[in-house]
């Protein structure tokens, strides 16, 4: 009789979190959602934070529900989240404050200030990381510039998944993939850029040793075990960055693929054996972040479903649209009538996203959006065009050709955007699995526990366990004219 293995993944996004149970048997994986909860930034005195204590309580609720209500004792647990944000610990290991959220305004103008010390080109060549003001480097530099007392009493920082692992296990460890989002490590290595950090005034002493994904950190504390009814099971550092976990679960059997991890952010890229660092990659703003088994994700962060999520939030004050209703309105609107650059800073955290889109379209001479369907269509058209634009850049940099696009994550369920992406890029799209991040988390736990042997086996399991949806490119009307308009908007 075959043995079933049970692993519990905590998969956290900017708007929600889930406890996902993975049941692995005979090379096939079954997923079961155990618990889901809302997440979000908290605005306090004009700044944005994550409530790390509330999040941890929700994770414990998920574990308790798994053990007590479902009667299943997982063999291990692991956490993945978004990148760049971190908590501060004091010398006794106590969390000093709520962690800032990456959309907080404290990093406004920080890249320009830091470039006075280290030029932008030099910074990229040393780190290989895409320039984004939200990066941990700029968050910490803002504290140096403002002479924040919090930094003076910080003994250690931990990125969000590392901090949650710490609360589960009592062991402070920094995992490679999440550390790689910080713009503070040597490209492709488990080493901090110490000389760079010293140069900008960030104390190197607050940074711990970096470990590889698939490492067992330690066992769950007796307190957490007692509270949740669980045994003191291993806590695993999987690929803590959600995109790294998701890419591990791509059901590819060749290397000539593009991935789009579609969620609050859309992350477009490919897998590389080593970092790709050049002046061209810097100019085109591509990043090199850590993956599993020493791989590099050569990619670009693109504003993703955040655009439509924020529109829905604003619209809900009057009309609480379902996602299907929003897609239906978009289908009925004229294609490519209004276009935006999703990466424009106007859309980072405008407060009123529909208004920001309307103003952008008017400012760029496209006319006035008159109904919600036009706004939704504008977002979906613009995202697909941005994918194609970024894909063309990636081809130029890597000198590689690509045969298919895998769209993974929750956004893969939007089949309207999946088809648009196929049409605009001219490549077949394979959509799914939607729960790629949780799957990657679970199967890296299985690898840490010696149930799975390699990334290749992980991807074989994914192919055998899930049925993605395929989309073939269809003819696109006025292709050249649409691309020309979009390029002008992006290059303004």
Of 306, 237, 241, nearest in space to 41 by CA? 306
pLDDT by residue (tens digit) across 359-391?
999 999 999 999 999 999 999 999 999 999 999
Q: How far is CA 381 from CA 37, 265, 352, 395, in A?
A: 30, 16, 20, 21
- Is 149 within 8 Å of 143 (Cβ atoms)? no
User: Which pair of tokens denotes residue 131?
Assistant: 């320039």
User: Which pair of tokens denotes residue 387?
Assistant: 């994918």
Distance between CA atoms of residues 239 and 247, nearest Å: 10
Question: Quick one: pLDDT band at residue 357, thresholds 50, 70, 90?
Answer: very high
Residue 93 has pLDDT above 90, yes or no: yes
Residue 38, exposed/middle/buried by CB under 10 A (0-12, 13-18, 19+)?
A: exposed
Residue 50 has pLDDT above 60, yes or no: yes
- Is 235 within 8 Å of 200 (Cβ atoms)? no
Q: What is the mean pLDDT of the chain?
A: 96
Average pLDDT of 171-185? 98
Q: Residue 123: its pLDDT value, please? A: 97
Which residues, in sequence order, are CB contacts of 316 under 8 Å at separation 6+? none
Average pLDDT of 202-222? 98
Decide: helix, strand or coil at residue 2: coil
Better pLDDT: 254 or 356? 356
Q: Residue 332: its pLDDT value, please? A: 97
Distance between CA atoms of residues 158 and 423, nearest Å: 42
Distance between CA atoms of residues 58 and 285, nearest Å: 36
Residue for token digits 């299907």?
A: 324
Residue 150 has pLDDT above 70, yes or no: yes
User: Which pair of tokens denotes residue 80?
Assistant: 């993945």
User: Which pair of tokens denotes residue 232?
Assistant: 């003191």
Distance between CA atoms of residues 140 and 138, nearest Å: 5
- Is 326 within 8 Å of 376 (Cβ atoms)? yes
Question: Quick one: pLDDT band at residue 492, thresholds 50, 70, 90?
Answer: confident
| Angle CA 127–128–129, to nearest 5 | 90
Cβ–Cβ contacts within 10 Å for residue 215, how many?
14
Show the domains of the chain with their CATH numbers.
5-242 (3.30.420.40), 250-432+453-492 (3.30.420.40)
Q: Residue 15: its pLDDT value, please? A: 87
Residue 19 has pLDDT above 90, yes or no: yes
| Percent of the chain topping pLDDT 70 | 100
Catalytic residue among 11, 242, 418, 423: 242
pLDDT by residue (tens digit) across 418-433?
999 999 999 999 999 9
Distance between CA atoms of residues 420 and 468, nearest Å: 17
Q: How far is CA 122 from CA 116, 288, 294, 422, in A?
A: 11, 15, 24, 36
Residue for token digits 């000093």?
A: 96
- Provide the strand spans (E) within 26-113: 28-38, 42-44, 47-49, 77-80, 86-89
User: Which pair of tokens denotes residue 33?
Assistant: 């959602």
pLDDT by residue (tens digit) across 442-487?
999 999 999 999 999 999 999 999 999 999 999 998 999 999 999 9
Question: Quick one: pLDDT band at residue 2, thresholds 50, 70, 90?
Answer: confident
Distance between CA atoms of residues 368 and 358, nearest Å: 7
**Phi, psi (deg, nearest 5) at residue 218:** 175, -170
pLDDT by residue (tens digit) across 307-349?
999 999 999 999 999 999 999 999 999 999 999 999 998 998 8
| Angle CA 338–268–359, to nearest 5 | 25
Q: Is 242 an active-site residue?
A: yes
**Cα 445 to the chain's mean position, in Å?**
19
- Across the strands, what pairs with 86? 159
Residue 147, exposed/middle/buried by CB under 10 A (0-12, 13-18, 19+)?
A: exposed
For residue 143, give the H/E element and its range.
helix 136-146
Of 428, 416, 432, nearest in space to 381 by CA? 416
Decide: helix, strand or coil at residue 21: strand
Q: On the CB side of 239, how many CA atoms lie within 13 Å of its CA?
A: 32
Better pLDDT: 345 or 11? 11
Q: On the CB side of 404, how many CA atoms lie within 13 Å of its CA?
A: 17
Global confidence as pTM:
0.92
Q: Residue 220: its pLDDT value, please? A: 98
């Amino acid at each position: 009789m075959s043995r079933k293995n049970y692993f519990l993944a905590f998969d956290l996004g900017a708007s929600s979190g889930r406890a996902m149970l993975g049941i692995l048997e005979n090379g096939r994986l079954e997923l079961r959602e155990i618990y889901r909860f809302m997440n979000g930034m908290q605005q306090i005195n004009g700044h944005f934070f994550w409530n790390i204590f509330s999040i941890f309580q929700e994770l414990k609720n998920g574990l308790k529900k798994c053990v007590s209500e479902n009667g299943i004792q997982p063999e291990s647990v692991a956490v993945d989240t978004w990148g760049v944000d971190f908590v501060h610990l004091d010398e006794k290991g106590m969390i000093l404050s709520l962690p800032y959220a990456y959309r907080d305004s404290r990093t406004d103008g920080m890249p320009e200030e830091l470039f006075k010390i280290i030029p932008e080109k030099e910074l990229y060549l040393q780190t290989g990381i895409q320039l984004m003001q939200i990066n941990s480097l700029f968050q910490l530099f803002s504290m140096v510039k403002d002479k924040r007392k919090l930094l003076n009493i910080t003994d250690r920082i931990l990125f969000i998944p590392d901090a949650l692992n710490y609360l589960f296990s009592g062991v402070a460890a920094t995992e490679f993939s999440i550390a790689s989002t910080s713009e503070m490590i040597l490209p492709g290595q488990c080493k901090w850029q110490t000389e760079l950090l010293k140069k900008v005034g960030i104390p190197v002493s607050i940074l711990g040793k970096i470990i590889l994904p698939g490492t067992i950190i330690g066992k769950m504390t007796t307190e957490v075990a007692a509270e949740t009814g669980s045994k003191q099971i291993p806590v695993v550092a999987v690929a803590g960055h959600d995109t790294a976990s998701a890419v591990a679960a791509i059901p590819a059997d060749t290397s000539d693929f593009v991935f789009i991890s579609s969620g609050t952010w859309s992350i477009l890229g490919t897998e590389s054996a080593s970092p790709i660092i050049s002046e061209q990659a810097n100019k085109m703003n591509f990043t090199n972040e850590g993956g599993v088994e020493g791989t590099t994700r050569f990619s670009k962060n693109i504003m993703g479903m955040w655009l439509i999520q924020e529109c829905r939030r604003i619209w809900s004050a009057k009309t609480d649209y379902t996602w299907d209703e929003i897609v239906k309105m978009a289908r009925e609107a004229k294609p490519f009538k209004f276009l935006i650059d999703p990466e424009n800073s106007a859309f980072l955290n405008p407060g009123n996203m529909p208004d920001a889109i309307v103003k952008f379209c008017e400012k760029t001479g496209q006319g006035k959006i008159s109904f919600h369907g036009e706004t939704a269509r504008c977002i979906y058209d613009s995202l697909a065009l941005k994918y194609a634009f970024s894909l063309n850049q990636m081809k130029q940099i890597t000198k590689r050709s690509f045969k298919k696009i895998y769209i993974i994550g929750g956004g893969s369920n939007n089949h309207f955007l999946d088809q648009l992406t196929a049409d605009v890029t001219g490549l077949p799209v394979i959509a799914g699995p939607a729960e790629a991040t949780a799957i990657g988390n679970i199967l890296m736990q299985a690898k840490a526990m010696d149930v799975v042997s390699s990334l290749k086996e992980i991807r074989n399991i994914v192919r055998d366990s899930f049925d993605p949806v395929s989309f073939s490119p269809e003819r696109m009307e006025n292709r050249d004219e649409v691309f020309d308009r979009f390029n002008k908007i992006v290059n303004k």
